[in-house]
Amino acid sequence: MPATPPSDKALVPFVSVENMMKLVHHIGIEPMLRGLADYIEQDFRRWDLFDKTPRIASHSTEGVIELMPTSDGEVYGFKYVNGHPKNTRNGLQTVTAFGLLADVSNGYPVLLSEMTVLTALRTAATSGMVAKHLAPKGADTMAMIGNGAQSEFQSLAMKAICGLTSVRLWDIDPAATHKTAHNLKGLGLNVHVCDSAESAMEGAQIITTCTADKQYATILTDNMIGSGVHINAIGGDCPGKTELAPGVLHRSDIFVEYPEQTRIEGEIQQLPPDHPVTQIWEVINGTKPGRTSAGQIILFDSVGFAIEDFSALRYVRDHIGGTDLYLPLDLLADPDDPRDLFGMVQRAAPVA
């Protein structure tokens, strides 16, 4: 196994699920979450350089399959991702993904990676990065509504990036809450298991909702939300899928990644298309204000955006050097004469 990414352009570094998990342990999950947040923030600061488009979605009655492309003019990236809420009934993941980076100058891939684990990490890192800018000063407690595959990552990202000390858990499935509480044991958080969404929000300055049912749902009603909170709405978004009552949206100042995508898939699909929102990159760049008062209710209507995946892949590319945590994948044809692809095929050794 080489110690640095292969110099042969025909060999593409491939990070498998096993090696991604090893990379997390090699770096440490909290340092990796902080590092991913830094990379995402760096790329949001150069927002204008990127190609931007809503993700290309193929919807079905069972779920959605999406492609999420972007480029900064030098590197191109995309992610393939699905969202199938019923998968867990059959022992499958709700979300799976893989992604690729390529050199714009010649079109050759430079990294292929699993992104099921990496998407969980980058989603949590984005939440923590945004909360760092928008949550109430000194926030130390989060209500985690929905205790599925994202919940531990979200909790640890808020701890690593924002200094969270306590998390209050609730899910309609008590087994999911038990799983999350068990997984977070010994990781430096005070974990409270709650018997309702309302009780989970007691004393919480940050409220994260992460549910996956493909329907209009009301996870948070208007009377559940007090002044001054930061709402981090990250559930499996798509047209026709929401988590918050319209009254919550009308009381909140709303921040989004990319409005053209969020108005299709996010909570704000419930609002008129001209309802004002602020793009989070504008807050990071200092061109728009974030939180301006202690009593302000802020909603981060997060649906995930391709630049975040680009940042995560860029982070992995920069951190696999000097490790054996990838495989050199024979993905690209490399004939001695670029015009003689057929001759290369003809000269291949026949199968015995």
Catalytic sites, residue numbers? 237
Q: What are the beta bridge partners of residue 244? A: 220
Q: How far apart are CA 222 and CA 113, in angstroms?
A: 41
Please answer whether residues 309 and 119 qualify as being in contact, where contact means their C-beta atoms are separated by less than 8 angstroms. yes
285 SS3 class: coil
The three-point CA angle 298-304-307 to 5° equals 115
Place of tokens 């003689």: 340
Cα 193 → chain centroid:
25
The CB-side HSE value for 146 (13 A sphere, CA atoms) comes to 22
Q: How far apart are CA 202 and CA 200, in angstroms?
A: 6
Cα 98 → chain centroid:
13
195 SS3 class: coil
Please answer whether residues 141 and 203 qualify as being in contact, where contact means their C-beta atoms are separated by less than 8 angstroms. yes
Please answer whether residues 152 and 184 qualify as being in contact, where contact means their C-beta atoms are separated by less than 8 angstroms. yes
